[in-house]
């Protein structure tokens, strides 16, 4: 299968292709003129695969009445067979797989309904893979021409301007459309191209007949569901682009992306704004949804251009009055823009802003210039170049009389020097010169020039230094070497080496010669060299550009007329707008030397050339460029195909010759023709009235003047009228008409006889068809065809067909039960076999092939028994009613089934209302009319809900059990309820088998034996629970317990060994408020604050007591104290005065 492209191109032209008659019963909408083929036939099988789409009007029509006049080939009628059925089924599978919810339909009995869309295929042998239908969203009828072998196209596809006409008719109504075959377009939306590119050419028509020329590739002429997100684009972060999506067969579309925003995401032509932080690429998705709710999504990748910072220097310092840097409008990394201000002031510092031109993803930068008062600096510079045949200084900085080369413009170095042929030696760099100045308190020690040659696309590499030698001082207002005006303190520094760098030895490419200078000196001393001044254009350096090219390239264009002079030869790869001298030979005749100038593109065009040989080219400019390869120009060539139709004859009847011969030239499109005498000197592309023989024609292309001759031989073609088909509509019911259909040679007269009777005649119409009718037959009827006569030729034939007579049908008498319940069935039967059963209302009752009637709902339905008709005999029917009574419905019972002996439950039914409730054992449980169940005793009973049946329907019942259980009893609790926090108590119940729990385990816990353990002071509730069973709730008994906190005397501290003349204080880390006491107040006493006072030597026990509260006993803590007698020096006595 050929590639199916999603791109759709079309041309709408105001062409005269109008319908000759506007049809009210149908309209031709589209023609697939150039169909794709399956490639299996020799050459191609396009004639099997062409299609026409038309729309039926407000009334149905029959496909069997269709007649078509093709631009090529004959109409062969309509067919519908097993082949078409299988291919349509296969196509519908393809449509569903593609996401379509429509399908193709073959008409039943040929009937095409009102407003139907219809596809006519030129053969039932078409390829289902050649022209796809895709995801169609509507039902389309499809019909097929009865074409088994004609593979040649039914339309004139491409070529010179010529109108092609298609006519279609259904009995009394017709439609005709035309198109110009030269306006057909290929898959690229242009004319011509390869056969594969032309495939898919179609023409669409408005109701008024205006033609639209389009090409959907290898597709049927239907609206195919497709979506295209458009082409990739590139933009800067934050930029907005316009999208160009397209779709067909959609009900909605939606754009989406992982970042950025859309102006209208539901519009095919929305704009998209990149996120300001976007980088790399962004994938946009366009999703379309068709009327089948099937989505189709395609993606397009948008490239985010990288952000670029112009790599100008951002700051520089210059001397007041010295040469200011030049503000280039293109940065070294290729960013173009403008400066504000546009030139640098060399007397005062300032900021200069560079604004990039739009679309470069570049940001503005600021260049800061500082101006200093310097004692020394430069005021002119130049580089020495050999350019073609001229060696000179090209000025870099300086102006007026200060220029190093007054004969060259200021800044002449900073330019594009053009192209130079590789290895020609015509462009070399030889050094440079620099002019400096100094005041009376400053010094200049020396100068250096730095240079680098690099590709324009690359940054500069390492610069090479060149020392500029001292060259001249200023004396008496002029330089003493080389001349030129100057001032006191001015000096020249120069080094020139003519062959320093031969730049033509570089590889092919575009280059930059980049230079800058350094000057050594001092602003404060006439002898020091302590400072360096750089002349580098503010950091951007001084740059000139040039290209190294290969030898010039020669190309040619042939004349467009025979013996014309429209040819030309183009020499390209030269320097733009440059003068040269050119010499060459034209068929051995020397032309030149002639002065010529290349154009802005670097081309020289030699025009006005006729066919011939051109050689020995010598181009002299910045070098000599010979070309010894001859260039041969030739006149245009006229070609033509030639075709014929042979002369048709009838063996027995002489007639005039009707053969034809046709030529189809391939040239400008404007021709004249001259046929030979045998063809009566005719002057059109087609010679007519030709007998068998050989003919010659001269063809002249009026645009080019070229002439060719073509020959062809016409033969005789013996043609007899024929009968193609004779068919009978059989069988026929007794008393009906016998109908016979004939097809054969158009407008021929056919002789026939009915069942051995006299001969009769019938005339075939312009489409070769006729119908013979024998009315009210009572026996089988046969016709025999004996002769067909076209007037100019006749033939004997022997074709027969028979219509069989059939009897009238009888449906018999029906029997079977007619009243049944909705949950039963009945069987109907007939006294006649072989019929079919049906129900008048399948919402009431259905009936199967055996006559079994199955109820669906209450009501009455009519059951019909049908004996199908045979031939033209009508079907026979018998009927019998069946009445359905609705069966009672007790439904499904709901309600709690396990209840406690002290409770109740209510049962309900989702069935019919109005039923009655009953219990299987009223000693266990009873139930009232509302379904409320009351327990009586332990056990299980069955509750029944009964709905009384009506008519032939029995009662309906539903049951549900209920179980009654005894309610549990938790008994009475006992046990001490007030305890100390350091004690326990045990609770008990009069009932066994329960579980214990505490309401607050932070106050007290209880174990499985009922032992209550205190945790903290407070009151908690102790619960005792017996679990309920059989629907009974749990039973619980409670008893509170109160916990009193135990007193805490703590641990005593304090010095335990003291002197009898001292004291100590004991402390407790327990509760406050306790009482202190001593075990022996004769040894030591203790007061209320714990202070121990010695009384005598010895050991006593000090006790701290916290009184008990409630059920809690007092708490004590003890600590001993040992008293040691203090030494006693006594009282001294004796005479104190001696």
Q: Where in the chain is the domain with CATH 2.60.40.10?
A: 227-304
Backbone angles phi, psi at 633, to 5 degrees: -100, 140
Residue 1070 · residue 1051 · CB < 8 Å: yes
Backbone angles phi, psi at 48, to 5 degrees: -85, -20
Residue 481 · residue 413 · CB < 8 Å: no
Which residue is associated with the tokens 């005039």? 656
Proportion of the chain above pLDDT 90, given as a percent: 52
Q: Where in the chain is the domain with CATH 2.20.130.20?
A: 723-806
pLDDT at 942: 96
Those residues whose C-beta lies under 8 Å from the C-beta of residue 143, and which sit 6 or more positions away, are 63, 66, 78, 80, 106, 107, 112, 118, 119, 120, 121
Average pLDDT over residues 688-713: 83
Predicted confidence band of residue 182 (pLDDT cuts 50, 70, 90): confident
Tokens of 109: 């009995």
Beta-bridge partners for 9: 215
Is this model's pTM higher than 0.75 or not?
Answer: no
Whole-angstrom distance, CA of residue 542 vs CA of residue 249: 62
Tokens of 878: 């018998």
Proportion of the chain above pLDDT 70, given as a percent: 96
Average pLDDT over residues 473-502: 90
Number of residues that make up the chain: 1138
**CB hemisphere CA count around 237 (13 angstroms):** 12
Average pLDDT over residues 560-578: 83
Residue 1084 · residue 1064 · CB < 8 Å: no
What is residue 1117's three-state secondary structure? strand
Whole-angstrom distance, CA of residue 306 vs CA of residue 236: 7
Residue 885 · residue 820 · CB < 8 Å: yes
Those residues whose C-beta lies under 8 Å from the C-beta of residue 983, and which sit 6 or more positions away, are 1014, 1111
Q: Using CB atoms within 10 A of its CB, is residue 326 exposed (0-12), middle (13-18) or buried (19+)? A: middle
Q: Buried (b) or exposed (e) across 74-102, using 16+ Cβ within 10 A?
A: ebbbbbbeeebeebbeebbebbeebbbbb
CATH number of 640-718: 2.60.40
pLDDT at 643: 86
Q: Is the dihedral of CA 30, 34, 39, 45 positive or negative?
A: positive
What is residue 577's three-state secondary structure? coil
Residue 571 · residue 530 · CB < 8 Å: no
Residue 511 · residue 501 · CB < 8 Å: no
Which residue is associated with the tokens 């019911």? 733
User: Which element (helix H / strand E) includes 87?
Assistant: helix 82-97
Average pLDDT over residues 414-418: 85
pLDDT over 90 at 1040, yes or no: yes
pLDDT at 1097: 93
- The most distant pair of C-alpha atoms in the chain lies apart, rounded to whole Å, by 207
Residue 802 · residue 781 · CB < 8 Å: yes
Out of 218-227, 333-342, 741-750, 1117-1126, pick the least confident.
218-227
Tokens of 585: 């030979």
CATH number of 814-885: 2.60.40.1080
Pseudo-torsion of CA 253, 258, 259, 263, nearest 10°?
0
Residue 754 · residue 760 · CB < 8 Å: yes
Predicted confidence band of residue 588 (pLDDT cuts 50, 70, 90): confident
Question: CA angle, corner 250, sides to 247 and 252, nearest 5?
Answer: 100
Per the model's pLDDT, the better-predicted residue between 680 and 184 turns out to be: 184
pLDDT tens digits, one per residue of 819-857: 999 888 999 999 999 999 999 999 999 999 999 999 999
Q: Is the peptide bond before 655 cis (omega within 30 degrees of 0)?
A: no
What is residue 183's three-state secondary structure? helix
pLDDT over 90 at 399, yes or no: no
pLDDT tens digits, one per residue of 730-758: 888 878 899 999 999 899 999 999 999 99
CATH number of 723-806: 2.20.130.20
Residue 537 · residue 326 · CB < 8 Å: yes
Whole-angstrom distance, CA of residue 543 vs CA of residue 511: 10
pLDDT at 708: 80
Neighbours of 124 (CB within 10 A): 21
User: Which element (helix H / strand E) includes 453?
Assistant: strand 443-455
pLDDT over 80 at 8, yes or no: no
pLDDT tens digits, one per residue of 770-798: 999 999 888 899 999 999 888 778 888 99
Residue 920 · residue 899 · CB < 8 Å: no
pLDDT tens digits, one per residue of 46-62: 889 999 999 999 999 99
Tokens of 1030: 């059989």
Residue 688 · residue 680 · CB < 8 Å: no
Q: What is the DSSP letter of 308?
A: B
Q: Where in the chain is the domain with CATH 2.60.40.1080?
A: 814-885, 893-965, 1052-1124
Distances 801 to 81, 726, 752, 781, 872 between C-alpha atoms, Å:
21, 7, 11, 8, 17
Residue 841 · residue 866 · CB < 8 Å: no
Distances 423 to 420, 427, 428, 550, 740 between C-alpha atoms, Å:
9, 9, 11, 9, 95
Predicted confidence band of residue 160 (pLDDT cuts 50, 70, 90): low
**CB hemisphere CA count around 1066 (13 angstroms):** 31
pLDDT at 38: 60
Whole-angstrom distance, CA of residue 15 vs CA of residue 1069: 117
Highest average pLDDT, of 184-193, 525-534, 593-602, comes from 525-534
pLDDT over 90 at 1045, yes or no: no
Distances 1123 to 207, 1091, 1092, 1102, 1129 between C-alpha atoms, Å:
136, 14, 10, 13, 19
pLDDT over 70 at 2, yes or no: no
Q: Buried (b) or exposed (e) across 758-776, using 16+ Cβ within 10 A?
A: eeeebebeebbbbebebee
Tokens of 47: 């004639």
What is residue 86's three-state secondary structure? helix
Which residue is associated with the tokens 């049944």? 820
Q: Using CB atoms within 10 A of its CB, is residue 125 exposed (0-12), middle (13-18) or buried (19+)? A: buried
Domain 1052-1124 in CATH 2.60.40.1080: yes
Average pLDDT over residues 505-519: 94
pLDDT tens digits, one per residue of 999-1020: 999 999 999 999 999 998 899 9
pLDDT over 50 at 17, yes or no: no
Class of domain 227-304: mainly beta
> Architecture of domain 893-965 in CATH?
Sandwich (2.60)
Whole-angstrom distance, CA of residue 610 vs CA of residue 111: 67
Whole-angstrom distance, CA of residue 695 vs CA of residue 646: 12
Distances 671 to 297, 638, 707 between C-alpha atoms, Å:
51, 10, 10
Q: Buried (b) or exposed (e) across 142-166, using 16+ Cβ within 10 A?
A: bbbbbbeebbebbbebbebeeebeb
CATH number of 554-633: 2.20.130
């Amino acid at each position: 299968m050929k590639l199916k492209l999603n791109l759709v191109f079309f041309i709408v032209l105001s062409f005269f292709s109008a319908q000759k008659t506007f049809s009210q019963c149908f309209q031709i909408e589209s023609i697939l003129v150039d169909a794709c083929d399956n490639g299996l036939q020799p050459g191609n099988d396009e004639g099997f695969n062409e299609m026409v789409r038309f729309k039926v009007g407000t009334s149905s029509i029959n496909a069997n009445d269709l007649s078509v006049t093709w631009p090529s080939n004959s109409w062969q009628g309509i067919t519908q067979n097993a082949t078409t059925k299988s291919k349509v089924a296969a196509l519908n599978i393809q449509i569903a797989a593609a996401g379509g919810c429509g399908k193709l339909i073959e008409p039943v009995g040929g009937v095409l309904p009102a407003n139907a869309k219809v596809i006519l295929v030129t053969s039932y042998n078409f390829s289902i893979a050649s022209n796809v239908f895709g995801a169609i969203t509507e039902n389309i009828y499809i019909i097929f021409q009865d074409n088994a072998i004609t593979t040649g196209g039914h339309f004139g596809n491409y070529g010179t301007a010529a109108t092609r006409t298609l006519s279609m008719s259904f009995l009394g109504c017709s439609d005709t459309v035309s198109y110009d075959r030269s306006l057909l377009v290929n898959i690229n939306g242009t004319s011509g191209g390869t056969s594969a590119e032309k495939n898919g050419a179609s023409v669409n028509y408005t109701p008024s007949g205006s033609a639209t020329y389009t090409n959907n590739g290898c597709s049927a002429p239907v609206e195919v569901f497709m979506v295209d997100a458009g082409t990739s684009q590139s933009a800067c972060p934050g930029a907005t682009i316009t999208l160009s999506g397209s779709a067909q067969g959609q009900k909605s579309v939606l754009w989406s992306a992982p970042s950025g925003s859309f102006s209208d995401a539901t519009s095919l032509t929305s704009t998209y704004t990149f996120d300001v932080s976007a980088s790399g690429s962004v994938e946009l998705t366009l999703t379309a949804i068709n009327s089948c709710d099937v989505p189709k999504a395609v993606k397009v990748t948008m490239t985010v251009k990288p952000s670029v910072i112009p790599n100008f220097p951002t700051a520089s310092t210059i001397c007041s009055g010295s040469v200011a840097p030049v503000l280039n409008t293109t940065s070294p990394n290729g960013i173009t823009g403008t400066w504000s201000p546009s030139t640098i002031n060399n007397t005062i510092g300032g900021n200069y802003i560079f604004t990039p031109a739009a679309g470069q993803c570049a940001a503005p930068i600021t260049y800061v210039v500082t101006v200093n008062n310097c004692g020394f600096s430069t005021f002119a510079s130049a580089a020495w170049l050999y350019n073609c045949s001229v060696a000179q200084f090209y000025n870099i900085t300086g102006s007026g009389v200060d220029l190093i080369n007054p004969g060259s413009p200021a800044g002449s170095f900073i330019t594009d020097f053009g192209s130079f042929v590789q290895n020609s030696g015509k462009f070399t760099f030889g050094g440079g010169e620099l002019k400096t100045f100094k005041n009376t308190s400053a010094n200049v020690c020396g100068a250096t020039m730095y240079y680098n040659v690099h590709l324009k696309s690359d940054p500069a590499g390492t610069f090479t230094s060149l020392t500029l030698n001292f060259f001249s001082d200023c004396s008496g207002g002029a330089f003493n070497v080389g001349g030129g005006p100057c001032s006191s303190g001015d000096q020249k520094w120069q080094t020139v080496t003519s062959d320093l760098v031969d730049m033509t030895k570089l590889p092919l490419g575009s280059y930059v010669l980049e230079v800058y200078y350094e000057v050594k000196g001092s602003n404060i001393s006439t002898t020091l060299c302590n400072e360096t001044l750089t002349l580098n254009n503010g950091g951007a350096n001084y740059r000139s550009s040039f290209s190294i090219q290969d030898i010039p390239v020669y190309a040619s264009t042939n004349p467009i007329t025979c013996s014309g002079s429209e040819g030309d030869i183009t020499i390209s790869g030269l320097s733009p707008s440059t003068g040269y001298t050119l010499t060459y030979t034209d068929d051995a005749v020397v032309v030149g030397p002639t002065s010529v100038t290349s154009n802005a593109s670097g081309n020289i065009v030699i025009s006005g050339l006729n066919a011939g040989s051109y050689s020995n080219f010598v181009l002299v400019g910045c070098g000599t460029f010979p070309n010894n390869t001859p260039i041969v120009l030739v006149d245009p060539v006229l070609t033509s195909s030639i075709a014929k139709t042979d002369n048709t004859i009838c063996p027995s009847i002489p007639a005039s010759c009707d053969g034809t011969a046709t030529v189809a030239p391939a040239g400008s499109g404007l021709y004249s023709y001259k046929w030979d005498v045998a063809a009566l000197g005719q002057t059109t592309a087609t010679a007519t009235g030709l007998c068998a023989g050989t003919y010659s024609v001269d063809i002249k292309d009026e645009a080019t003047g070229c002439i060719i001759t073509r020959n062809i031989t016409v033969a005789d073609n013996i043609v007899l009228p024929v009968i193609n088909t004779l068919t009978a509509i059989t069988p026929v019911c007794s008393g009906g008409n016998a109908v016979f259909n004939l097809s054969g040679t158009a407008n021929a007269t056919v002789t026939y006889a009915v069942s051995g009777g006299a001969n009769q005649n019938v005339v075939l119409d312009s489409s070769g068809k006729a119908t013979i009718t024998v009315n009210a037959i009572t026996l089988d009827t046969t016709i025999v065809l004996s002769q067909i006569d076209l007037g100019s030729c006749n033939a004997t034939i022997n074709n027969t067909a028979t219509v069989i007579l059939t009897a009238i049908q009888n449906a018999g008498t029906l029997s079977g039960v007619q009243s049944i319940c909705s949950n039963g069935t009945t069987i109907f039967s007939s006294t006649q076999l072989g019929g079919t059963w049906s129900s008048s209302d399948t919402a009431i009752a259905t009936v199967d092939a055996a006559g079994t009637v199955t109820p669906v709902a209450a009501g009455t339905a009519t059951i019909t028994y049908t004996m199908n008709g045979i031939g033209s005999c009508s079907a026979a029917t018998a009927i019998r009613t069946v009445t359905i009574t609705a069966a009672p419905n007790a439904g499904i019972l709901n309600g709690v089934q396990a209840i406690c002996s002290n409770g109740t439950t209510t049962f309900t039914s989702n069935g019919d209302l109005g039923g009655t409730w009953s219990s299987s054992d009223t000693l266990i449980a009873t139930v009232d009319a509302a379904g409320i169940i009351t327990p009586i005793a332990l056990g299980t009973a069955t509750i029944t809900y009964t709905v009384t049946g009506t008519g032939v329907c029995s009662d309906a019942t539903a049951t549900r059990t209920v179980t009654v259980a005894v309610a549990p009893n938790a008994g009475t609790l006992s046990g001490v309820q007030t305890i100390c926090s350091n004690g326990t108590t045990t609770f008990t119940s009069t009932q066994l088998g329960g579980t214990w729990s505490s309401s607050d385990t932070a106050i007290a816990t209880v174990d499985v034996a009922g032992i209550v353990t205190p945790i903290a002071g407070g009151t908690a509730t102790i619960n005792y629970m017996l679990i309920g069973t059989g629907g009974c709730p749990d039973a619980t008994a409670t008893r509170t317990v109160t916990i009193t906190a135990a007193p805490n005397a703590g641990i005593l501290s304090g010095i335990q060994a003291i002197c009898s003349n001292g004291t100590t204080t004991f402390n407790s880390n327990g509760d406050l408020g306790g009482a202190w006491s001593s075990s022996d107040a004769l040894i030591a006493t203790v007061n209320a604050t714990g202070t121990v006072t010695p009384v005598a030597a010895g050991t006593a026990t000090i006790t701290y007591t916290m009184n008990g509260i409630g059920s809690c006993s007092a708490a004590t803590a003890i600590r001993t104290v040992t008293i040691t007698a203090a030494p006693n020096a006594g009282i001294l006595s004796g005479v104190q005065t001696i």
